Structures are given as structure tokens and as C-alpha cells.
């Protein structure tokens, strides 16, 4: 696909997403960053410090638009 949602993308309908925690440097992290901006770093730091699980069977989260 030619569509990549990355920082700078303007969401027209969605004001949040429910997703799992994705691995650093993944394209799915670009989606998270597009939704919450630079706050993704704070969110992920909290997740790592609290031993949240990553990937498909990991902990889910509700991320709201920045």
C-alpha cells in the first residue's frame, strides 16, 4: 500500500485509537506518534518502567489525539 500514517498526518474523524504497545522503530509506532505527537515517548517510558507487555498479546491502551 502507498498509505502510511505518520507524524504530520491529520486525522479527520478519529480522535483516538485503541492499540497494543508496538516495538520501538516499527511502522506501527508511526501511527501512535501521528495520533499523540511527541507524547508517545512519555507513554512508552511509563510502559517500560511498569513492565507493560508489547506486541500482539501485550497490554492494550487507549490513545487520544494530541
b (16+ CB within 10 A) / e for 2-38: eeebeeeeeeeeeeebeeebbeeeeeebbbbbbbbee
Q: Coil, strand or helix: which one is 10?
A: coil
pTM, entire model: 0.76
- In tens, the pLDDT along 19-48 reads 888 877 888 888 899 999 989 899 889 988
10: nearest Cα among 44, 42, 34, 28: 34
* Grid coordinates given for 12: 479527520
Per-residue model confidence (pLDDT) at position 26: 82
Q: Bridge partners of 61?
A: 19
Amino acid at each position: 500500500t502507498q498509505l502510511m500514517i505518520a507524524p504530520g498526518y491529520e486525522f479527520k474523524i478519529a480522535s483516538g485509537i485503541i492499540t497494543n504497545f508496538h516495538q520501538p522503530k516499527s511502522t506501527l509506532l508511526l501511527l501512535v506518534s501521528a495520533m499523540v505527537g511527541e507524547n508517545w515517548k512519555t507513554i512508552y517510558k511509563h510502559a517500560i518502567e511498569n513492565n507493560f507487555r508489547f506486541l500482539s498479546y501485550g497490554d492494550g491502551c487507549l490513545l487520544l489525539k494530541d
